[in-house]
Each structure stands twice: as structure tokens, then as C-alpha cells.
């Protein structure tokens, strides 16, 4: 009998340099704290930043919490992601709509909006901090960390 593969998550924003890398880092941290083995990645619906590292402000915010994301590299969502990942979690409604549009027929991934996993914030977007200052990245971190903790509690409670 083979072991069940770990639950898998892909976080998706537009360029994969601000919000989705922070969400990836937050879920990695929450899963480690809970002792869960998860497959976690992030990607963007756009191709502008492929191969580049996260925005320096995202790196700085993650480092403020003891997490180094400087080795992460931006990539674009691909058709195989809809089979590889159990859950594909968009950081905003626009990217969720894009994911639904590009999803291949018969895919197995469950699509959701990240803040749907935070009571009281359902249906809301994680605002894109790209054009603002460091305070936007602090807000993004708080939101993605809370959602990550809720996702871990959900997984721990359901076994998946």
C-alpha cells in the first residue's frame, strides 16, 4: 500500500512577486508549526516576472518574521498545475476569474479565493501592495498569515 501524497497548494496572484510568495511562505510556516507535510508553491497568471525573485519589499516583510523567501522564483501558472495541486488559491477575484478561464477541462484542483478562508473576509481580495509602501506589505502578511493558519486548521481537522 502506498502512502497518500501530501495535500498540495498553489497560491496565485498576478505577477508572483508580492502576494503569492508571501502566502506560500505563510503556509509553509503554519504547516511546519503544525507538523504537517504539504506541497506548497506559488505562481502568477501574468508572465512579466518569470524567473525573477520576489519584490524586495516582500522579502523584507518575510524577513521581519524570520522567513527568507529570496530564493523563490516567479513562474506562470500552467495547465499541469490544475492536475498537480489539490487546491489553487487566488489572492483576488480577478486572478480567480483568470484561473477559471484557463483551467483545462476535467481538472481536479479546487479553486478558491484566499480570504474565503478567513471568517468575515469572505469574497474580499488581498490588496496588491505593489504600488504602495511597506505598510501594504505588512497588511498583506497579516492577511495571508491568518488565512494560512485557517487552512492548516482546516487540513488538520479534515485529514486533507
Could you give the percent of the chain with pLDDT greater than 70? Answer: 96
Q: Residue 3 — very low, low, confident or very high, per pLDDT cuts 50/70/90?
A: low
DSSP-derived letter for residue 125 is -
What's this model's pTM, rounded to 2 decimal places?
0.95
pLDDT tens per residue across span 32-81: 999 999 999 999 999 999 999 999 999 999 999 999 999 999 999 999 99
Read off the C-alpha cell for 44.
Answer: 502568477
Domain boundaries, the chain: 8-158
pLDDT, residue 2, reads: 46
Buried b or exposed e, range 150-160, using 16+ CB within 10 angstroms: bbbeebeeeee
Which member of 13, 18, 57, 125 is catalytic?
13
**Is pLDDT at 4 greater than 90 in this prediction?**
no
Q: Determine the Cα–Cα distance for residues 100 and 80; give it in Å rounded to an integer.
A: 14
Based on the residue annotation, tell me whether 128 is a catalytic residue of this protein: yes
Q: Which fold has domain 8-158?
A: Rossmann fold (3.40.50)
pLDDT, residue 1, reads: 46
Which member of 18, 19, 81, 149 is catalytic?
19
Could you give the percent of the chain with pLDDT greater than 90? Answer: 92
pLDDT tens per residue across span 82-93: 999 999 999 999
Q: Determine the Cα–Cα distance for residues 30 and 129; give it in Å rounded to an integer.
A: 22
Q: Residue 6 — very low, low, confident or very high, per pLDDT cuts 50/70/90?
A: confident
Which member of 81, 92, 128, 145 is catalytic?
128
Q: Residue 154 — very low, low, confident or very high, per pLDDT cuts 50/70/90?
A: very high
The per-residue pLDDT of the chain, averaged, comes to 95
Based on the residue annotation, tell me whether 19 is a catalytic residue of this protein: yes
Amino acid at each position: 500500500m502506498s502512502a497518500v501524497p501530501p495535500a498540495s497548494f498553489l497560491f496565485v496572484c498576478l505577477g508572483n512577486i508580492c502576494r503569492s510568495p508571501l502566502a506560500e511562505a505563510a503556509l509553509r510556516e503554519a504547516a511546519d508549526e503544525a507538523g504537517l507535510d504539504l506541497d506548497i508553491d506559488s505562481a502568477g497568471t501574468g508572465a512579466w516576472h518569470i524567473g525573477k525573485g520576489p519584490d524586495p519589499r516582500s522579502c523584507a516583510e518575510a524577513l521581519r518574521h524570520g522567513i527568507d523567501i529570496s530564493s523563490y522564483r516567479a513562474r506562470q501558472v500552467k495547465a499541469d498545475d490544475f492536475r498537480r495541486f489539490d487546491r489553487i488559491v487566488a489572492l483576488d477575484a480577478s486572478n480567480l476569474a483568470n484561473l477559471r478561464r484557463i483551467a483545462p477541462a476535467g481538472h481536479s484542483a479546487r479553486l478558491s479565493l484566499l480570504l474565503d478562508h478567513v471568517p468575515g473576509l469572505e469574497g474580499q481580495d488581498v490588496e496588491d501592495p505593489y504600488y504602495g509602501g511597506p505598510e501594504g506589505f505588512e497588511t498583506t502578511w497579516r492577511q495571508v498569515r491568518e488565512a494560512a493558519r485557517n487552512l492548516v486548521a482546516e487540513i488538520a481537522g479534515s485529514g486533507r
